[in-house]
Amino acid sequence: MKTRTMRRAAGMAGACAAALVVTTLAATPVSATTQDEAGALEYVVLFTEGTSEADAAAAVEAAGGTVVSQNTDVGVATVTAPDAAFAEAAAAQGVIEGTAQNRIIADVPELRKANGEALKEDQAEADLKADADATAATEAGANGRGKGHSPAADPLAPLQWDMEAISATADGSYKVEQGDGVVVGILDTGVDGSHPDIAPNFDAEKSRNFTVDIPLDANGAVVDGLCEEDPDGSCEDPADVDENGHGTHVASTIASPLNGLGIGGVAPEATIVNLRAGQDSGYFFLQPSVDALTYAGKQGVDVVNMSYYVDPWLFNCASHPADSPEDQQEQQTIVKAMQRALDFARIRGVTLVAAAGNGASDYTKVLSDASSPDFADVPGEVAYARDLLDPASCVSMPSEGRGVISVSSTGPSDRKSYYSNYGNGYVDVAAPGGDTYDTADGTRDYGAGILAAYPTVVAEAEGAIDENGDVVVPWALESCDANGENCAYYQYLQGTSMASPHAAGVSALIVGKYGVRDFIRGGTYLPPALTQARLEQSAVDTACPVPADFTYTRTLPTGQVVTSTHTCEGSTGSNGFFGKGIVNALKAVGR
């Protein structure tokens, strides 16, 4: 998932683009920089359970810090302190269980922005013709993925091989259940609430932004970009804005309405709530994630999608020998704080769905990690190699959190996507996330990605449309309603970040079909354990490939041929590639 959104690129191309990134309050949003203008360091502090707000503040003050914001629901606070001595002093306070420093970001590699970036990484090699959108649509249909739908389907439905694969179509699950009354929270980079294919289902009143853009780090490196250069000219974006594009794509896959425009989502009548926890750059920090989850638990959100991992550690290890005691403490704090927030939300009826990540790795085996920490105090020192990571004591959050449904990605042929993480016991279910090399000859086809909404401001910033609004790249297209008056943009992305919202959408259908009205918090209530049980029971059993050592062959646009081999372990009904199977919307709510 990080591909940074999963991360990201989709969910991780080592992580979520699969992270688009790959990887969103009740408390006041704060910056994730490590120093303020006066040079103070910033920490996230975890208190022992049951600590009062007054006792927590007193302990922070005694350790030499100042509370900036506090989440009393799970005992977490953002704190500033004059120097690094705070961490040691805090450890001596009985009510403080751990600290994690928000470090200065040294670098944000251009292609680690969001889970869908893998589709765009070599766009310079493409022939960017003005009719590229039409070409992409034609090729997708020619490849046989669009089988056509009833007249009630939205105009781009023939390009949605992903919805066909899980029977979320006009002649499939749409006839049985569409998610009316179900509230889905999008923990991501934001949601463009004005997008015509999202606006009808967008709840602006409930939506929140738990982050503040970080223009530059202390060394002058660009993080989210200068505030005045933002489309809205501000670092404190409203809760209906997405200046990355990842969160909007995720929300669209879950709940784009059937409105005669563009695409239809898995649950086209579900309500979308933006719970922004990610930066424009695709980083996701601890405090916003904790705050977004606790808010979801109190606001009657039924399902949340989390296509990312919490920075700065892809894997949080309790006691890895390569890590300093301070780094070990930080990682332990991240795991404990996130688990508290996940538990808080789940106990209150929130079904938790997360991208498995885009690292092409078996999470149940001994691993190496050369990406953590993914930001540091010294420019250029972004990460150090950590080998022989024990999967029993090193976890990625939130995908490996207790009570979280971890989703791997599949391509048009139903094979596990080449970038998707896997592991028998790690993956719960699989869903379409795209695989642009899942083609007959192993060459790239944008149409094998996932098509969903694309914010106009992001399309402009990325050069996907020209000054006339015409699409000029092969991975995007425009759709208009029957009158040609209401138009919107869409883009192809791939990653576990794109797979997870398909599972979240089916979860929303399950809640809508079998749940009851929640008169306390709003929305619809179905215990998350029952939602997950139905999701897994209705998933289509998908066996490991034969042989189980499956080799992927990709011919890149440069002509280079790349191969990789992943080993699938387990049975037909439960294995490391597909978990309990590929989710199916119609089976979940119908036959």
What's the pLDDT band for 200 if we cut at 50, 70, 90?
very high
Class of the 41-101 domain? alpha beta
Asked if CATH classification 3.20.20.70 holds for the domain at 126-214+230-293+301-309+349-355+397-589, the reply, yes or no, is no
Instruction: Decide: 465 and 471 in contact? Cβ < 8 Å.
Output: yes
Residue range(s) occupied by CATH 3.40.50.200 in the chain: 126-214+230-293+301-309+349-355+397-589
Residue range(s) occupied by CATH 3.30.70.80 in the chain: 41-101
pLDDT digits (tens, 9 = 90+) for 410-456: 999 999 999 999 999 999 999 999 999 999 999 999 999 999 999 99
Q: Residue 46's pLDDT is what?
A: 95
Q: Determine the average pLDDT of the residues in 488-512.
A: 98
User: To which H or E segment does residue 62 belong?
Assistant: helix 53-62
Question: Which of 231-240, 516-525, 541-550 reaches the highest mean pLDDT?
Answer: 541-550
**What is the strand order of the sheet 450-454 is part of?**
450-454, 487-493, 476-480
Task: Tell me the C-alpha distance between 549 and 551, whole Å.
Answer: 7
Q: What angle do CA 140, 463, 126 make, to 5 degrees?
A: 50
pLDDT digits (tens, 9 = 90+) for 123-149: 322 322 222 333 233 233 333 333 333
**Helical residues (DSSP H) of 488-571, grouped into ranges:** 496-514, 528-538
Does residue 104 carry a pLDDT above 70? no
129-158: burial string, b at 16+ Cβ within 10 Å, e else:
eeebbeebbebbeeeebbeebeeebbbbbb
Nearest to 542 by CA among 421, 416, 426, 423: 416
Q: Residue 18's pLDDT is what?
A: 33
490 forms bridges with which residues in the sheet? 453, 477
Does residue 207 carry a pLDDT above 90? yes
What's the pLDDT band for 111 if we cut at 50, 70, 90?
very low
Does residue 461 carry a pLDDT above 70? yes
**Is 111 or 286 the better-scoring residue by pLDDT?**
286
Does residue 122 carry a pLDDT above 90? no
Q: Using the 8-state DSSP alphabet, how is residue 165 labeled?
A: H
Q: Residue 144's pLDDT is what?
A: 33
Q: Residue 382's pLDDT is what?
A: 55
Report the chain's mean pLDDT, rounded to a whole number: 84
Query: Which residue's entry shows tokens 């992270």?
Result: 19
pLDDT digits (tens, 9 = 90+) for 11-51: 333 333 332 222 322 222 233 334 444 457 889 999 999 99
pLDDT digits (tens, 9 = 90+) for 250-292: 999 999 999 999 999 999 999 999 999 998 888 899 999 999 9
Does residue 105 carry a pLDDT above 70? no
Question: Which of 105-114, 184-193, 282-291 reaches the highest mean pLDDT?
Answer: 184-193
Cα–Cα distance list, 267 to 83, 120, 397 (Å) = 49, 28, 26
Q: Residue 376's pLDDT is what?
A: 53
